Structure 1
Amino acid sequence: QLKKARIAPTKDIHLVEMEERMWYNLELDSQQFMVPGIVVVLLTIIPMMLSAMSLVKEKEIGTLEQLMVTPLKKHQLLLGKIIPFLILSYVELAIVMTVAILFFNISMNGSYLLLALLSLLYLIATIGLGIFISTFTHTQQQAMFVAWFFMVFMIIMSGFFIPIENMPKSLQGLTYLNPMRYFMFIIRDIFQKGSGIIYLWLDSTLMTGFALVIIFLAVGKFQKRVS
């Protein structure tokens, strides 16, 4: 039998067939990829815009100067501005997540707690950037236009529309200065892959570093402007 098998005609030999399977998003549903990105976009636009325009509005109507003469320190004053926006942003996150899961059937395979903690780091970065913008703008219109400029740059360079790998090499380097790049990667991995902090620690660390730098610049610029 072995001898017969060796001289069997080649037409009876079955070749190995390769079958491709997706590990994540098995049905290749574009909503599973785009909707988490929209969550990031909303968590960028609203907190940054509100924080930038809020302080500028207080400068316009004169209430900021009144707060300056109180015993509050400058970082305490800014902290009082940041906390309400954080609370509002978390309400926004809860609403957007509910809509994404219930109405768009987006699969949430990761930890809600991890998403909430990493969202805090990103919100600190975006709110801090909005406060930084408010330190060198004088009207709400200026703050709005400057904030829109930053937001358009962040969205384009985040991989939301165009994969970062498909960008020119020179532009790929600029994406490392964009905190939205890191959070876009984080939230998609949590939604689709259920990734934990062990896998997301590098992007989380870089996003944390950006948040600390922008808060430091915002506080420093604010104190210098006041003095």
Structure 2
Amino acid sequence: MLKPFIRLLSFFAKEINEIRRQPRLLLSLVLGPFLILLIFGLGFSGEQPKLQTILVVPPGRENDPRIKLFQERIQQANFNVVGVDTDEQKAVEAMRASSGAIDVVEVLPEDIDQLLGRQQASTIKVLYNEIDPTQEQWIQYLSYVQVKELNSALLLSALSGSREQAGSMQQFISITRQEVQQIQSGLSAAQNPETRRAVQRLRTNSGLILAGLALASQGSANQQAQSDLQAIQRSLDALDQAMESGQVDEQRRRLDEINDNLERVEQVAEQIKTVPPEVLVSPLQGSPQNITEQRPNFIAYYAPGVLALLLQHMAVTLASLSLVRENLLGSTELFRVAPVGSMQILLGKSIGFILSIGLIMMLLVGLMIANFPIGNTGYTFGLAVPFVGNPLWFALSVLLVTVASLGLGFLISAISRSESQAVQLSMISLLAAVFFSGFFLPLQNFQAFAQWLAFLLPVTHGVRAFQDTMLRGQLPTDETFLWLGGIALVCFLLAWQIWRGNLKRR
């Protein structure tokens, strides 16, 4: 009655001895991932790229203060200006010849001093020579942010000027009203040069118009102010033309309209004085807040993913080579005539692998969560990765990922005819794990069919389960356990059927 268990334990002991005879393998499995994760955490900054930029400006404008202001704003948007030129073609050739040292060439418009008041927006060209799609997306995003910053700076400058003018604007409006009354009392005053110049000054005050438009965008209460300003502008234009052509009736009508709206203009000017220009330009400001209890650094965030990736790779590699090695050593000939079943062989090997991998995982987790100071050096032993969840649920997740990965490895071993073929298939599974597991790229970035491929990999569910347990302190979801259990069951059944058929044919 105990013979089946004895046979199963014999395969368990065989695999344990095989692993024990390879101390270098154990050392590389424990220290290798630890050192790689340490170097990654110390060397990866995770910051937005700083784009090395050549700025192309209009000829003769290299030392223009406005260009200097633009350059300062560009620096704030992660564009590091390393050179200023006036020849676009020359700058592009320099970028091509730099072998990646120059990221972009930015060309400012010729009419840079006449940007406001135009009916069409000017264009800032950003030229780049990039084959990396990720870097290309960064360049496009930072270019968008840069244009937003420059537009805000231009509006802020214009509104600051209009705010400074608002104090004297009330006195100017009062004088203008008196002049309008003089025009109404005697049309001969319409030919007064001072009156004509006063009307023209009020007509061309674009700062007041721009400020009124900004105020109107703040809410429905200021929409009337915008309408009044537009009406005054139209009346001033028509009044100026009527003065030039000598149309008396038209002058009177326009003067009445201006008189009716001058009082509202005074109210707008007063409002401009009380509202800061920064608020006019940017009425909204963001306040992002991370409400998570844990704020892991890069090492801590990627550590669970590295564990899951390493766990699947270890299990797949060990299992995929085990059955192939039995074929090469001729052991399958003995198995065929021995009183041992194919399921006993798979289960015995699995238990041995689970114990070995479990010990390695304990050592790795211990090294990752350790945080012991080394004397007074300021350094610590370990990676100080937080572990806020339940260790028992974490152990269960490790067990399920291990079993599912072993099932995948046995399936690879059952269909392989040589060690090189098994190694090749194991490496393919590793590449699939790196690209589709969510460790390197978020799963949301993939199409539906690619996400289904990711769900068939044990590491995909391992990454999610390990992060939930270690970093969030949450239990793995039922969906995670169901996927891992299903992968393990299907892979073991397929591997068992194929291996049993191979034993019978031999």
1:149-190 per-residue CA deviation (whole Å, 9 max, x = no partner) reads 112112211000111112344422322222221111000110
Q: Residue 50 of structure 1 corresponds to which residue in structure 2?
A: 318
After TM superposition, the structure 1 = structure 2 runs for residues 37-76 of structure 1, keeping only pairs within 5 Å, are: 37-76=305-344
Q: Aligned to 1:23, what secondary structure does the other structure show? A: coil
Cross-structure match for 2:409: 130
Aligned ranges 1:44-193 → 2 under 5 Å: 44-102=312-370, 103-193=382-472
CA distance in 2, matches of 1:76, 1:140: 22
Amino acid at match of 1:78: L
Report how far residue 24 of structure 1 moved: 4.2
Q: Is the 8 A contact 2:335 2:503 kept in 1?
A: no
Q: Contact 2:411 / 2:495 at 8 angstroms: preserved in 1?
A: yes
Cα deviation, 1:10-59, whole Å, max 9, x if unaligned, reads 87xxx998451240432x51112101111111101111111111221111
The within-5 A match list for 1:10-21 is: 18-21=287-290
Partner of 2:503: 226
SS at match of 2:415: coil
Runs of 4+ in structure 1 displaced over 3 angstroms? 15-19
Report the structure, 1 or 2, having the larger helix content. Answer: 1
Matched residue count: 213
Q: 1:169 to 1:202 in 2, by over 3 A?
A: closer
Cα distance in 2, alignment partners of residues 54 and 16 from structure 1: 61
Q: Helix, strand or coil for the counterpart of 1:135?
A: helix
Rate the CA distance shift 1:223–1:29 in 2: closer, same or farther, 3 A. Answer: same
Query: How far apart are residue 194 of structure 1 and its match?
Result: 0.9
**Deviation by residue 1:66-122 (Cα, 9 ceiling, x = unmatched):** 122111111111111111111111011101101111111000011111111121111
Paired-residue identity, %: 26
Q: Distance in 2 between matches of 1:114 and 1:79?
A: 23
Please tell me the residue identity of whatever aligns with 1:194. G
Distance 2:490 2:447 in 1: 27
Alignment-derived partner of residue 201 in structure 1: 478
Paired amino acid for 1:47: A
Matched letter for residue 124 of structure 1: V
Match of 1:4 in 2: none
| Residue 221 (structure 1) shift | 1.2
Cα 1:100/1:215, change in 2 over 3 Å: same
Q: Is the 8 A contact 1:37 1:160 kept in 2?
A: yes
- TM-score, normalised to structure 1, is 0.87
Checking the alignment, whether the CA contact within 8 Å between 1:53 and 1:140 is kept in structure 2 is yes
Preserved CA contact (<8 Å) 1:155 1:180: no
- Amino acid in the other structure paired with 1:210: I
Q: Take 2:288 and 2:430, find their aligned partners in 1: how far apart are those partners?
A: 42
Cα 1:16/1:144, change in 2 over 3 Å: closer
Residues 100 and 106 of structure 1 are in contact (CA less than 8 Å); yes or no, is this contact kept in structure 2? Answer: yes
1:25 aligns with 2:302: no
Structure 2 unaligned spans of 5+: 1-270, 276-283, 371-381
Change (3 A) 1:127 1:18: same
**SS state at 1:213 partner:** helix
Higher RCO, Cα 8 Å, sep 6+: 1
CA contact (8 A) 2:468 2:474 kept: yes
Contiguous gaps of at least 5 residues in structure 1: 1-8
Alpha-carbon distance between aligned partners in 1 of 2:479 and 2:303, rounded to the nearest angstrom: 23
Alpha-carbon distance change, 46 to 19 in structure 1, aligned in 2, over 3 angstroms: closer
Alpha-carbon RMSD: 2.0
**Counterparts of 2:286 and 2:490, CA distance in 1:** 53
Could you say which structure has the larger radius of gyration? 2
CA, structure 1 residues 19+127, in 2 after alignment: closer, same or farther (shift >3 Å)?
A: closer
CA distance in 1, matches of 2:285, 2:426: 56
